[in-house]
Chains A and B, each alone.
Chain A
Amino acid sequence: QSVLTQSPSASGTPGQRVTISCSGSTSNIGSNFVYWYQQLPGTAPKLLIYRNNQLPSGVPDRFSGSKSGTSASLAISGLRSEDEADYYCATWDNSLSGQAFGGGTKLTVL
């Protein structure tokens, strides 16, 4: 049981906009920055969004992040086949004194 809650799956067609949500509590998302990671099959995770809505260098601006209260979202616009991957949200949890990850959302591009 993950501390952060994500829907197990999401899907969209090429060119569409999809949103992946991440729900937490006041001790984690409500108090700390949210990070998002993309994990392509068979590879290590890659940072996609840091500090709620900041894009690392090299990440296309089709990706965007937002946070409101104890929830966060990752949006992908202009969906492409290469976006098919697992996406994880993460943050620090003050109650656990540790990192908390969402269970991951498997994105399928139809």
Chain B
Amino acid sequence: EVQLVESGGGLVKPGGSLRLSCAASGFTFSDYSMSWVRQGPGKGLEWVSSINSGSSHIFYADSVKGRFTISRDNAKNSLSLEMNSLRVEDTAVYYCARGYSGSYLSEYWGQGTLVTVSS
């Protein structure tokens, strides 16, 4: 069974930093692209970042480019999102998601972790 478990969310002040992690199990992690997708309170889904299986291709939404860094450790079956210079508008539930075979579009999603940016 595919499992994606996010952690690291919490309350942070504007301008602060946070690191999200996603522990993957139930599949060969190194075979799939991974993504972070967020959902602000009462809002729709917003793509944040994607990384391919070998970390050679990385993509970011314009809204987070230069502030967020996605990375993965295939040996540890883990995905991370380093978030710096956080803004109030970054407040959201952040989902870790596994790409469908050969695609960045997501097949499986974690339960999400809440990030709240507030003074």
Contact = CB atoms under 8 A, between A and B. Distances in A.
Interface of A: 2, 33, 35, 37, 39, 44-47, 50-51, 56, 86, 88, 90-92, 96-104
B105 A33 contact: yes
Given A44-B110, A45-B95, A101 B44 contact: yes
Contact of A37 (B45, B46, B61): B45
A50 B100 contact: yes
B95 A50 contact: no
Judged by DSSP, the binding face of A is strand
A39 B45 CA distance: 10
Nearest to A43: B111
Interface string B93-119: 001000010011111111110000000
Most buried by A among B103, B107, B111: B103
A50 B107 contact: yes
Contacts of A56: 107
Judged by DSSP, the binding face of B is strand
A106 to B, nearest CB: 10
A104 B50 CA distance: 21
B47 interface: yes
A101 B100 contact: no
B109 A45 contact: yes
B105 A92 contact: yes
Most buried by A among B35, B45, B59, B100: B45
B32 interface: no
B44 A99 contact: no
Nearest to A97: B59
Contact of A44 (B46, B59, B60, B109): B109
